Amino acid sequence: MSGKVLFVCLGNICRSPLAEGIFAHLVRERGLEGKYLADSAGTGNWHVGQPPDRRSIAVAKKRGVELPSLCRQVRKADFLDFDWIMAMDKSNQGDLQAMCPPAQRGKIKLMRDFEPAADQGADVPDPYYGGPYEFDSVYEMLLRCCTRLLETLETTIPGGDAATA
């Protein structure tokens, strides 16, 4: 499979599970399940084994998106196993670059670089200390980014069932 995408934030409870859920939802809507795989992880280990933040779950559920994964920390194997590693902010990107083997660093991208109206290098803000508005705002931002990311992948990954490629 050449469409394996890992979404990464700090604790893997707010932004990255939302991005994973949104991307997987878009993939299902387009009937592309055999071509793409989404996962999420955090650079930190504080929440390993826990479900996403209840506010992330609520904002996704409101829009018919499920967040089934449990929090985990980025592993060395992720840099080989995934084709695209999407950092939610520059701090996460720096942490990933420091952990990543040099030959794999080109896989690491900033999430908002896929948002049409965002400035290059913009961060997805962490809604953790905010209220429902921040979670709604981050959801909408991630929806725009995931939509553009999927469009980009569809133009760069050869057609057909990538699971057999």
- Residue 124's CB is within 10 A of a number of other CB atoms, namely 27
Please state, in angstroms and rounded to a whole number, the distance separating the CA atoms of residues 128 and 47.
13
List 53, 89, 126, 145, catalytic entry = 126
- Token pair for 65: 């998106």
Set 9, 14, 145, 146: catalytic member: 9
9 catalytically annotated: yes
Q: Give the strands of the sheet with 108-110, arranged side by side.
A: 37-42, 4-9, 84-87, 108-110
Catalytic residue at 15?
Answer: yes
Q: Exposure string (b/e) for 77-113, b if CB count within 10 Å is 16 or more?
A: ebbeebbbbbbbbeebbebbeebbeeebeebbbbbbb
Compute the CA torsion angle 12, 54, 116, 4 (nearest 10 deg). Answer: 40
Task: Identify the active-site residue in 15, 55, 72, 112.
Answer: 15
Kindly list the catalytic residues. 9, 15, 126
